[in-house]
Amino acid sequence: PKDPTGSPIADSIKIKKEVANAFVKRHKRSTLYSEYYKSPMEQMHERCENYPPCDYLSDQIGFSMAYNHFFG
């Protein structure tokens, strides 16, 4: 393959895996997991918010009572 200027580029961009790993750092799963982890309370709030009767009732009597009424 040639680039638009006409010079061959295929051989010039190939590098060994060990060399590439020296400067490309990957995130560990544990750090990604901690970024996406939701607390149990946050999961409960989302569950109630996604169910309209629970969401409406939580505005009237409070979240914990509404959640326990529908999911408790």
The pair of three-digit structure tokens given for residue 47, joined into one six-digit string: 């569950």
Question: Which tens digits make up the pLDDT trace of 2-60?
Answer: 555 555 555 567 777 777 666 666 655 555 555 678 889 999 999 999 999 999 999 99
Asked whether the beta carbons of 1 and 11 are under 8 A apart, the reply is no
Pairs from 24-32 (Cβ < 8 Å, separation ≥ 24): none
Phi, psi of 8 (to 5 degrees): -70, 135
Q: Would you state the pLDDT for residue 14?
A: 72
pTM: 0.50
